[in-house]
Amino acid sequence: MGKQLHIVMFPWIAMGHMTPFLHLSNKLAERGHKITFFLPNKAKQQLQHSVLYPSLITLHPITIPHVHPLPLGTETASDIHLHLTGHLATALDLTRPEVESLIKGLTPKPHFIFYDFAYWVTEIATELGIKSVHYNVVCAASLAIALVPDRNVPRDRPLTMEDNAQPPPGYPSSNVVFRGSEARHMLLLGMEFGSGLTFYERITTAMKLSDAIAIRTCREVEGNFCDYMSAQYNKPVFLTGPVLPDIDDNIPLEAQWAEWLGRFEPGTVLFCAFGSQFILEKDQFQELVLGFEMTKLPFLLALKPPSGCASIEEALPEGFKERVGERGVVHSGWVQQPLILAHPSVGCFVNHCGFGSMWESLMAASQIVMVPQLGDQILNTRLMAEELKVGVEVEKAENGWVSKESLCNTINLVMDQGSEVGCLVRKNHAKWRQIMVNQGFMSGYFDTFVKDLEMIMGT
């Protein structure tokens, strides 16, 4: 190892951001580097069991000031509904005095600060002679289509669907795009996102002010989008690779799932999860569970109770539990997703194609069915279904509705050993999985990434 680096990590205060930043921290600590990780206290409690190198990684709690109209005690995006996240960004910005004082008090002085939404840390870094790296935990395609200078989001009028319908000039794909009404997901760009900034202004400013942009992806999958980003921002784009945690052989799959999964033949169980944040509407939740029932296959669904329901039991359709019996489980708590995906009984992973789940599905052996919910998840899905052709996107209505028949038919299509589509995605998935699991793929990206950091340290 070269010189020990001291890196400050300061991700957006949402589990979908803090988790990948922690995976990155573990990989850096594995190579002997020191990490100081700023995060709200609640998240510290949740993530500390995932710290693999406690002697090198310090999870340092910061106070998230209360901002009206956020509920009292709000600390992360998991505490609020999606439409309040702009106010949470204002709360993040109010942590600046504490964060600045903490950084100035760190010894040894940090070499880098990694961030994503807190654009103002670059000013602190420049003053202290620290390099700043904007670390993106979403796919390069979603950055390239939405968050580049040539997107030119207007400030003087609301964004329209026409503004969003076309990708920015030079965007390098005609498949990884929004179609029809999906362009509504780009309206977020013009949304007020804390301290008088739009979401577009916050993220593009954060990237413009950085010394380098880093993305949690690999050239084999997104090289063209990464090159486009580098040209748009006229600065280096470093790739960390997927940065997935190694499955710790000392941590077993929870007994209840090992026992239940053990009852079924290899490759026959459907596993479904929609990430750490997304909450379905009740009618869509019920339609999806009926779709799993229709497959007549065993299934394990790890889903949060839908909007307006305090529990899963309250949300299940009439007579559902009686009809499916032990064949189907709908669980509202957290499950060990990577360990469940590694279980031989699991034959199909139905997921929202969040970026973490996307990489995990590629690494797993089971078939892949995607039901994207948010904008970047739609682009992740297009990458998987139309560029890599390793999985199938469930067809939805123009308004985003997914019917039980559409879900059931897509699952049956990929699970049918004789179907043309099922064979194609199985073959392509096996090819990509071979690339990703082979020795040196992940570590190779990571070693190059550390060399990239050392290079800009010298500049």
Distance of closest approach, residue 238 Cβ to ligand AWU, in angstroms? 18
Hey, what are 92's tokens?
């993040």
Q: Is 138 in the site for ligand AWU (CB under 6 A)?
A: yes
* Of 333, 336, 347, the residue nearest 295 (C-alpha): 347
Q: Which of 10, 356, 363, 368 binds ligand AWU (CB under 6 A)?
A: 356
Give the x-and-dash track for 275-304 against ligand AWU (CB under 6 A): xxxx-----------------------x--
Number of C-beta neighbours around residue 178 at 10 A: 20
* Nearest to ligand AWU of 130, 143 (CB atom): 143
Distances from the Cα of 208 to the Cα of 84, 116, 201, angstroms: 26, 12, 10
Specify the residue, 25 or 377, whose C-beta has the smaller distance to ligand AWU.
377
By CB under 6 A, tell whether 89 contacts ligand AWU.
no
For residues 384 and 357, give the distance between their C-alpha atoms in angstroms, rounded to a whole number: 12
Give the Cα separation of 212 and 148 in Å (integer): 15
Q: Smallest gap, in angstroms, from Cβ of residue 273 to ligand AWU?
A: 5
Kindly tell me which residue out of 7, 8, 17, 118 binds ligand AWU, with binding defined by CB under 6 A. 17
137 binds ligand AWU (CB under 6 A): yes
Sequence-ordered list of residues with C-beta below 8 angstroms from that of 7, at least 6 positions apart, any chain:
25, 28, 33, 34, 35, 36, 110, 111, 112, 113, 114
Angstrom distances, CA of residue 284 to CA of 179, 272, 278, 301, 357: 21, 14, 13, 14, 21
337 binding ligand AWU? (CB under 6 A): yes
Q: Nearest distance from residue 169's CB to ligand AWU, in Å?
A: 25
CB atoms within 10 A of CB 406: 17
Please identify which residue in 18, 133, 197, 335 interacts with ligand AWU, judged by CB under 6 A: 335
Task: Note whether 15 binds ligand AWU by CB under 6 A.
Answer: yes
The yes or no reply on residue 16 touching ligand AWU (CB under 6 A) is yes
What is the chain's alpha carbon radius of gyration, rounded to the nearest angstrom? 22
The secondary structure element, H or E, covering residue 439 is none
* 430, amino acid identity: A
**Number of helices followed by number of strands (H, E) in the chain:** 19, 13
Binding status of residue 26 toward ligand AWU by CB under 6 A: no
Q: Is 354 in the site for ligand AWU (CB under 6 A)?
A: yes
Could you give the 3-state DSSP secondary structure of residue 239? strand
Q: Closest CB to ligand AWU among 302 and 330?
A: 302
Contacts with ligand AWU in 358-387 (CB under 6 A)?
A: 360, 374, 376-377
Closest residue to ligand AWU in the complex (CB)? 16
Q: Is 215 left (phi over 0), alpha (psi -120 to 50) or beta?
A: beta
The Cα angle at residue 318 between residues 317 and 324, in degrees rounded to 5: 75
Among the listed residues 169, 334, 397, 437, the single contact to ligand AWU using CB under 6 A: 334
Contact residue for ligand AWU among 338, 365, 371, 383 (CB under 6 A) = 338
Q: Smaller CB distance to ligand AWU: residue 276 or 286?
A: 276
Among 143, 145, 186, 273, binds ligand AWU (CB under 6 A): 273
User: Does the footprint of ligand AWU cover residue 355 (CB under 6 A)?
Assistant: yes
Pairing of strands 212-215, 269-273: unpaired
CB 199 → ligand AWU: shortest distance, Å? 12
Q: Does 242 bind ligand AWU (CB under 6 A)?
A: no
Q: How far is the CB of 107 from ligand AWU (least distance, A)?
A: 32
Q: Residues interacting with ligand AWU, by CB under 6 A?
A: 15-17, 19, 137-138, 273, 275-278, 302, 334-338, 354-357, 360, 374, 376-377
